[in-house]
Structure 1
């Protein structure tokens, strides 16, 4: 019963603190009073009952919302922060991996998405390291969606052991 009150309690506590700081004009860092901070607060509100109360279903949305909020804070501040779809796949994979650690099940999809996210984030570096140019039929990026479709179909039609 306690976990059902934890989420709204943290949301209200976080928003109250956020609006109190806004009213007092205390900005903890540049861009603090933008919408990504609200996403971070909601993500934290999902994660606290997930780890304090054992609500494992809240881990994935918590990591995803916290990650997206952090991404939009960092993308304009840190030059090394990646700004492509791979970073969002990374947050989903981290959420799945953290959930699998808590439930001892479902680690493989998290690891696969983690690998896909790293390939997506560092695609240009990988291609230059392999000395592959993106010209004509030799472009491996053309076949990437088909590989993902095939893996997805395999997971949907394969039976559990």
Structure 2
């Protein structure tokens, strides 16, 4: 019960500061009062719970919320920040890689998602550098969701030893 109150306490403190800044009509609130910041607040609360209780089972969820919230927050303010869909996969890959340090799992998944995100980001540029494989790249770029589906189904239904 105490472990759960750590998360809820940190979450309530974060929400309290978030909404108080808005209620006080501070000039800083115009830039901070956004839904991506709420994702970051929940992620920080989960991270604080993991750190204080020394239970790192939710560290991946914490990193995912923080990186996705950070991405969506920064993408509104920096015009040069990539808006490509693959950035969501990249943020999740970074979350896996960061959580692998604490939880000792997810390194392979993080590297795989990182490679997928980089392929998605630069698949249009690959055609310029390798015209001989243009058809193959176009084919993969069109049907990559099916590859995700097949790998996911295999992971779900394969017998583990």
* Distance of 1:29 and 1:128 partners within structure 2: 45
Distance 1:120-1:51 versus aligned 2 partners, 3 A rule: farther
* Corresponding position: 1:81 with 2:107: no
* Corresponding position: 1:148 with 2:148: yes
* Distance of 2:148 and 2:41 partners within structure 1: 33
* Distance of 2:149 and 2:24 partners within structure 1: 51
- 1:121 counterpart residue number: 121
What per-residue deviation string (whole Å, max 9, x for no partner) do you get for residues 64-106 of structure 1? 2222222221112212212222111122222222232212233
Tell me the CA shift for residue 112 of structure 1: 0.5
Distance 1:121-1:158 versus aligned 2 partners, 3 A rule: same
TM-score normalised per structure 1: 0.80
CA contact 2:43–2:63 (8 Å) conserved in 1: yes
Unaligned runs of 5+ in 1: none
Q: Which of the two has greater helix per residue?
A: 2
- 1:62 counterpart residue number: 62
TM-score normalised per structure 2: 0.80
Unaligned runs of 5+ in 2: none
Q: May I ask how many residue pairs the two structures share in their alignment? A: 160
* Distance of 1:132 and 1:146 partners within structure 2: 24
Tell me the CA shift for residue 145 of structure 1: 3.1
